[in-house]
């Protein structure tokens, strides 16, 4: 079972699902909405990250409930779509990117293992995103001639505000290429849950302070609208090539 986590402006995935069934799940961490069905011959689960009406801002997303539900539904591989800012001249706005590293600059800690009855568990995050899935996407991009950046470091802030110019300068010193508000908690919770996780990012603007233009959510949605068809096709063409067996850091027991 493959999961798709839909980010801002990308709930159109649901339209192409056949045998579609929308339901709710009560988890220990909250109630979530999800849709199951078949897409490109694959059984999938679609979860709208920000809720079905996009009414949860980044700092209120039910990260633990989302990942818990996906694990309960039998998802072993998860593709997470997201809009990001870019501060790398080699990754201009409009170029789909599958990062390979992560800087967690969020203020919260989200874990399924918080001691006592939940237990204690320390998972390895050397490679925060699934290398096997990323390799498949890289090969599909090469075969189709699609311009996709494979690799890069995603710096995650809590939101919901955009970053300051000083924060972007800090991220640049730390080696970051992209900035966003959702991937760090998802990646860490997926690793704890034993789910392979692949983020597919859409750079929608230059990060704060790199231009004189102010950042707005409307700008984000407009750029996502221009990129979403390519992103959906990239995921569509890649899904059937994900290997059945998992031999990657994501599936290891810790």
pLDDT tens-digit profile of 166-191? 999 999 999 999 999 999 999 999 99
Residue 108 has pLDDT above 70, yes or no: yes
Strand partners, 178: 86, 154
Hey, is 100 helix, strand or coil?
Answer: coil
φ, ψ at 132 (rounded to 5°): -70, -45
CATH architecture, range 2-251: 3-Layer(aba) Sandwich (3.40)
pLDDT given for residue 11 in this prediction: 65
Identify whether the C-beta of residue 239 lies closer than 8 Å to the C-beta of residue 4. Answer: no
Residue 103 has pLDDT above 70, yes or no: yes
- Mean of the pLDDT values across residues 225-242? 89
Q: Give pTM, 2 decimals.
A: 0.93
Q: CA torsion sign, 85 to 90 to 94 to 96?
A: negative
pLDDT band, very low/low/confident/very high, at 14 (cuts 50, 70, 90): low
pLDDT band, very low/low/confident/very high, at 54 (cuts 50, 70, 90): confident
H-helix segments, 194-252: 217-239
Share of the chain above pLDDT 70, in %: 96
Q: Tell me which H or E stretch contains 96.
A: strand 96-98
pLDDT given for residue 76 in this prediction: 94
- Mean of the pLDDT values across residues 74-86? 95
How high is the mean pLDDT of the chain? Answer: 91
Strand partners, 150: 98
pLDDT given for residue 253 in this prediction: 65
Phi-psi region of 103 (alpha: psi -120 to 50; beta: other; left: phi over 0): beta
Q: CA torsion sign, 52 to 184 to 26 to 133?
A: positive
Residue 13 has pLDDT above 70, yes or no: no
């Amino acid at each position: 079972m493959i999961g798709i986590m839909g980010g801002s402006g990308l709930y159109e995935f649901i339209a192409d699902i056949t045998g579609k069934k929308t339901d709710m799940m009560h988890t220990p961490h909250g109630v979530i909405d999800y849709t199951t069905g078949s897409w490109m011959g694959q059984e999938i689960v679609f979860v709208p990250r920000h809720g079905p009406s996009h009414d949860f801002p980044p700092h209120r997303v039910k990260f633990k409930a989302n990942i818990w539900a996906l694990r309960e539904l039998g998802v072993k591989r998860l593709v997470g779509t997201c809009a990001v800012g870019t501060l790398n001249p080699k990754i201009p706005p409009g170029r789909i990117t599958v990062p390979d590293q992560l800087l967690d600059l969020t203020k919260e800690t989200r874990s399924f293992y918080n001691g006592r009855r939940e237990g204690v568990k320390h998972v390895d995050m050397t490679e925060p995103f699934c290398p096997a899935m990323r390799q498949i996407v890289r090969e599909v991009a090469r075969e189709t001639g699609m311009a996709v950046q494979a690799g890069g470091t995603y710096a995650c802030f809590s939101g919901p505000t955009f970053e300051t110019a000083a924060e972007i300068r800090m991220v640049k010193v730390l080696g970051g290429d992209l900035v966003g508000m959702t991937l760090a908690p998802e990646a860490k919770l997926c690793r704890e849950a034993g789910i392979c996780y692949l983020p597919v990012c859409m750079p929608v603007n230059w990060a704060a302070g790199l231009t004189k233009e102010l950042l707005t959510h409307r700008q984000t949605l407009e750029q996502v609208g221009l990129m979403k068809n390519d992103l959906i096709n990239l995921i569509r063409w890649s899904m059937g090539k994900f290997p059945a067996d998992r031999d990657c850091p994501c599936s290891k027991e810790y």
